[in-house]
Amino acid sequence: MQFFITCTPGVESVLKKEIERIGGTDLVVSDRGILCSGPESLMAELNVWIRTGNRVYLVLVEKKTRTFDELFDTISAVDWRKYIPKDAPIIVDAVSVKSELESIPAIQKTIKKAIVTKITGDRESILREDDKVSGIHIFALIRENILLLLLDTSGEPLHKRGYRTEALEAPIKETLAAALVMLSGWRYKEPFLDPFCGSGTIAIEAAMIARNIAPGIDRHFAGEYFPWYNVDYFTQAKTQAKAKIITDRKYTITASDTDAEAVKIAENNAKRARVSDTIQFSRKDFKEYTSEYISGALVSNPPYGIRLKDYDLDLLYKDISVVFTKNTSLFGGIITSYDFGKHTRPDLWKNRKLYNGNELCYFYSKKFEKKV
Rounded CA-CA distance 133/117 in Å is 20
Is the separation of the CB atoms in 220 and 226 below 8 Å? no
38 Cβ contact list (under 8 Å, min separation 6): 1, 3, 23, 24, 25
Query: Is pLDDT at 370 greater than 70 in this prediction?
Result: no
- pLDDT tens track for 82-126: 999 888 999 999 999 999 999 999 999 999 999 999 998 877 677
pLDDT for 308 beyond 60? no
Q: What is the pLDDT of residue 311?
A: 66
Q: Residue 103: helix, strand or coil by DSSP?
A: coil
pLDDT of 170 higher than 80: no
Average of per-residue pLDDT across 297-306: 87
Average pLDDT (218-233) is 95
Distance CA 3, CA 115 (A): 21
pLDDT at residue 371, as a whole number: 45
Identify the structural domains of the chain with CATH numbers, from first to last.
Answer: 2-152 (3.30.2130.30), 174-214+245-366 (3.40.50.150)
Q: For 55-75, what is each residue's pLDDT tens digit?
A: 999 999 999 999 999 999 999
pTM of the prediction? 0.93
Least confidently predicted of 90-94, 132-136, 183-187, 257-261: 132-136
pLDDT band at residue 134 using 50, 70 and 90 as cut-offs: confident
> How far apart (Å, rounded) are the C-alpha atoms in residues 47 and 216?
7
